[in-house]
Amino acid sequence: MVKNRIIPYEILLESCKQTLGLVEYSIPEEELIPMRHFMNALIHYLEDCINKAENGWPVIGHHFAFPSEIFYFFDVVPIVVEGVSYMLSGLLTEGAEPYYDAIEFRGHPYHTCSAQKATLGLTLEDYFKFDVICTSSGPCDNSIASYPIFRHIQKGQLLDFKVIDMPYWRDKRSCDFFGEELVNLRDELAIILGQEPDEEKFRKAIEVENKSLQLIKELNEIKKAVPCPVESMNVPFNAASIIFFSGRFERIPYLEALISHAKKNYKKGIKPNGEEKLRTIWPNMTLFFDIGYSEQLDREKGISTLFDIFNYVFYDPINLNQDINDIIKDLSVQCMDYPMIRQSQSTADRMIEDMLYLCREYKVDACIFTNHIACKNLQPIIQLLREALREELGISLLSVDVDVGDKRYASKESIAKEIDSFVSTLY
Amino acid sequence: MESSRKLKNLSRTEISEEIKKQSLISNFGKLYLYLVETFGYPRKTQKNIGKREGQEVQLNFMALKNKFNPSGAILVMLSKTKLNLQLGSSENAKALIKFQMDEDEILPTICEIIKMKANCWGLLKIILKFIIPGKIRFKGSLFAAMRATLLMMVGKHPMYKKSNINPQFIQNIN
């Protein structure tokens, strides 16, 4: 049996341990709360995945917006392709750049998404040995185009490559169709992996996800308070927790710790990092190559970051008192409303309506849109969103051209300069 | 690929060990940058770089030498405005700081340095605790090395007056 099949998870584990150690041992207890709890949760998750992979469990690479709860029917190790790329970007000096370069050197276009590029590079370098790759035909053309490359670059056999079809429309017919796709996938995986689907484990994963969902909503409610009692740093870590911990219990203690800390701050009426001068939402993503940037904005300039695209959820928990296939169909409805899928794989109205709702509810002063090089599907929305926010709420929007996972495209300094100029026009 | 050539004839377990060592150095660089940018308050230490602007200081982690980075080095490029870090060694480095301790002693040592105040007393503590026992060694320009070390020391930050550091070194480490 091949050993060390998920070397990038081992790299992440070592980096997370060192990061947590440094924070715990040198920074006072009341500081960097989201980072401490997230690193703790991630270490647990990574150790579990590495142990299972070493014990011979099949390794499945999947898209972050794929309903990974479906994998809990089986004894498998689900690896989040996008999570690896962006965690490496956030934790290492040179980020995931050597792996972007590796796959680009092979001819992969530079303007595709860095979220997949690093994992493609890592697979090309033989650091990942996947058994199956699963993705859906969403949320964007980039991921649809990038995933099939795994079939050609992996050294050694890939058992199967699965794409489930996600329709563009969000009506009952589409949801039923996508639900059928998920049921078929479960049946096909059972044959490929030679395992019987275990309904209990799947139900447990959905139960855990339901609990997480309630906690996310609770945390988001707390963020309505002015000043925001949650550190801005929670935004990139919440995004990562949504990406990594679908159907896993690690997200629960992480969110509970954040909520408890936020409630304490709320009762005292304080904002963790000083005065709040400006409340912002980042309608796309925050910078993953510098996970501390939102914290620095918060501490130095009093700019709170309340949400990015991954931080708010517009779907409800799944009813577990029904037939297993109906639960899967409900999961498909949820999946079609996942963060980023909801805004990217549909008409522009959704993004605009969501932002108007959030800006109104959360008393937002400004929006900062990271125009990620690969999010070509969102680029035409920027001007529409800017006009809608200005006309309906009198809020300004700044668009910054970036690659959220690659600092070479737009450096933090150039981004900071644009934000500074923008902010100076608001006071 | 470059990395494939360097790792030729190694088993997957050996490759994993090599790359983990490299990622520890790389992660340390990121954390160094993060600390300076988030807690390097007041930014006086960075502004005081003065004529050291643009100079390179090389930090060598002897226990983390690996095939990608045979000297276990990371470069700090001193700057008043934008601190830059890069993996690997340089011939132009003005100063060399060698961390001579075992792998499991590196993190506690760095944590100790971070908590110190960026002043003469802090530097004296480093000399007594780490340089005299031979855990850390300097080579080249002492002032450039001092500047790079002072940047890391954020003990003056007001957060240290408000609350305590968790006395228990968390169980997850090592």
A105 Rama sector, left if φ>0, alpha if ψ -120 to 50, beta otherwise: alpha
Tell me the C-alpha distance between B174 and A285, whole Å: 33
* CB neighbour burial string for B93-118, b if at least 16 within 10 angstroms, e if fewer: bbbbbbbebeeeebbbbbbbbbbbbb
Q: Which of A44-48, A90-94, A151-155, B38-42 has the lowest mean pLDDT?
A: B38-42
Q: Is A131 helix (H, G, I), strand (E, B) or coil?
A: coil
pLDDT band for A225, please (50, 70, 90 cuts): very high
Residue numbers in B near A30 (CB within 8 A): 159, 162-163
Give the amino acid at B146: M
- What are the distances in angstroms from CA A411 to CA A165, A302, A400, B54? 37, 21, 11, 18
Contact A125 B162 (CB under 8 A): no
Tell me the C-alpha distance between A175 and A67, whole Å: 14
- Mutation target among A2, A14, A22 for the B interface, most CBs of B within 10 A: A22
Residue numbers in B near A19 (CB within 8 A): 27, 31
Compare CB distances from B165 to A11, A21, A25 and report the shortest one's residue: A25
- What are the distances in angstroms from CA A212 to CA A205, A208, A248, A335, B83? 11, 6, 9, 15, 39
Kindly list the structural domains of chain B, giving each domain's residue range(s) and its CATH number in brackets, ordered by start: 13-154 (3.30.1050.10)
Higher pLDDT among residues A133 and B7, named by residue: A133
Q: Which of A75-79, A171-175, B112-116 has the highest mean pLDDT?
A: A75-79
Q: Are A355 and A389 in contact (CB under 8 A)?
A: yes
Nearest CA in chain A to B110: A22
- Nearest CA-CA partner of B72 in B7, B135, B138, B22: B22
Q: What is the β-pairing status of strands B56-61 and B73-77?
A: antiparallel
Number of Cβ atoms within 10 Å of the Cβ of A57 = 18
Contact A20 B173 (CB under 8 A): yes
Residue numbers in B near A292 (CB within 8 A): 34, 37-38
Compare CB distances from B87 to A14, A93, A125 and report the shortest one's residue: A93
Which segments of A223-364 does DSSP mark as H helices, in order? 234-244, 251-268, 293-301, 324-335, 341-344, 348-361
Tell me the C-alpha distance between A370 and A129, whole Å: 33
| Inter-axis angle of helices A7-26 and B103-115, nearest 10 | 40
pLDDT at A159: 80
DSSP state of B71: T
Higher pLDDT among residues B155 and A286, named by residue: A286
Residue numbers in B near A86 (CB within 8 A): none
Residue numbers in B near A295 (CB within 8 A): 38
What is the average per-residue pLDDT within A157-184?
A: 91
Contact A296 B82 (CB under 8 A): no
What is the average per-residue pLDDT within A248-268?
A: 94
The 10s digit of each residue's pLDDT in B57-97 is 999 999 999 999 999 999 999 887 778 899 999 889 999 99
Residue recorded with tokens 């001193």: B78
The C-alpha angle A344, A348, A349, rounded to 5 degrees, equals: 120
Kindly list the structural domains of chain A, giving each domain's residue range(s) and its CATH number in brackets, ordered by start: 7-197 (3.40.50.11890), 200-424 (3.40.50.11900)
Give the amino acid at A119: T
Nearest CA in chain A to B68: A98
pLDDT at B172: 41
* Whether residue A146 has pLDDT greater than 90: yes
**Dihedral angle over CA of A351, A355, A356, A358, nearest 10:** 140
pLDDT at B164: 66
> First-to-last CA distance in chain A?
62
**Bond into A253 cis (ω within 30):** no
Q: What is the β-pairing status of strands B136-140 and B95-99?
A: antiparallel
The A-side interface with B (CB below 8 A) comprises 2-4, 7, 10-11, 14-15, 17-22, 24-31, 40, 43, 90-94, 98, 102, 105, 124-127, 292, 295-296, 299, 413
Give the amino acid at A160: D
Distance from CA of A292 to the nearest CA of B (A): 7
pLDDT at A324: 94
Contact B1 A105 (CB under 8 A): yes
The 10s digit of each residue's pLDDT in B2-49 is 566 667 788 999 999 999 999 999 999 999 889 888 887 556 666 677
* A·B CB contacts under 8 A: 130
- Nearest CA-CA partner of B67 in B22, B26, B27: B22
pLDDT at B53: 82
Interface check for B121 against chain A (CB to CB < 8 A): the answer is no
Q: By CB neighbour count within 10 A (0-12 exposed, 13-18 middle, 19+ buried), where does B69 fall?
A: buried
Tell me the C-alpha distance between B24 and B163, whole Å: 29
**Bond into A8 cis (ω within 30):** no
Higher pLDDT among residues A138 and B55, named by residue: B55
Interface check for B99 against chain A (CB to CB < 8 A): the answer is no
pLDDT band for A364, please (50, 70, 90 cuts): very high
Distance from CA of A181 to the nearest CA of B (A): 37
The 10s digit of each residue's pLDDT in A329-361 is 999 999 999 999 998 888 889 999 999 999 999
What is the average per-residue pLDDT within A110-127?
A: 95
pLDDT band for B171, please (50, 70, 90 cuts): very low
The percentage of residues in chain A with a pLDDT greater than 90, rounded to a whole number, is 85
Tell me the C-alpha distance between B65 and B21, whole Å: 7
Distance from CA of A213 to the nearest CA of B (A): 27
Give the amino acid at A208: V
Q: Is A187 helix (H, G, I), strand (E, B) or coil?
A: helix
Number of Cβ atoms within 10 Å of the Cβ of A160 = 17
- Provide the CA A316 distance to its chain's centre, in angstroms: 18
Average pLDDT score over chain A: 93
CA quadruple A57, A61, A64, A65: dihedral sign:
negative
The 10s digit of each residue's pLDDT in A6-64 is 999 999 999 999 999 999 999 998 899 999 999 999 999 999 999 999 999 999 999 99
pLDDT band for B173, please (50, 70, 90 cuts): very low
pLDDT at A111: 93
Compare CB distances from A295 to B4, B38, B162 and report the shortest one's residue: B38
**Sequential DSSP letters for B90-157:** -TT-SEEEEE-S-HHHHHHHHHHHHHS-SSHHHHHHHIIIIITTTSEEEEE-HHHHHHHHHHH--TTS
Confirm whether the ipTM is greater than 0.90: yes
- What are the distances in angstroms from CA A151 to CA A59, A147, A159, A416, B148? 14, 8, 10, 39, 46
pLDDT at A280: 97
**Which pTM was predicted?**
0.94
Tell me the C-alpha distance between A259 and A270, whole Å: 14
Length of chain A: 427
Contact A3 B23 (CB under 8 A): no
Interface check for B71 against chain A (CB to CB < 8 A): the answer is no
Q: By CB neighbour count within 10 A (0-12 exposed, 13-18 middle, 19+ buried), where does B173 fall?
A: middle
Tell me the C-alpha distance between A8 and A123, whole Å: 10
**Bond into A139 cis (ω within 30):** yes
Tell me the C-alpha distance between A283 and A312, whole Å: 10
| Token digits of residue A177 | 């169709």
pLDDT at B43: 63
Compare CB distances from A19 to B11, B31, B166 and report the shortest one's residue: B31
* Whether residue B170 has pLDDT greater than 50: no
* CB neighbour list of residue A122: distance below 8 Å, 6 or more residues apart: A7, A8, A84, A99, A102, A128
pLDDT at A270: 82
Q: Are B164 and A29 in contact (CB under 8 A)?
A: yes
Nearest CA in chain A to B167: A25
pLDDT at B162: 73
Compare CB distances from B16 to A4, A28, A413 and report the shortest one's residue: A4
Residue numbers in B near A124 (CB within 8 A): 1
Q: Is B169 helix (H, G, I), strand (E, B) or coil?
A: coil
Residue numbers in B near A126 (CB within 8 A): 4
pLDDT at B39: 85
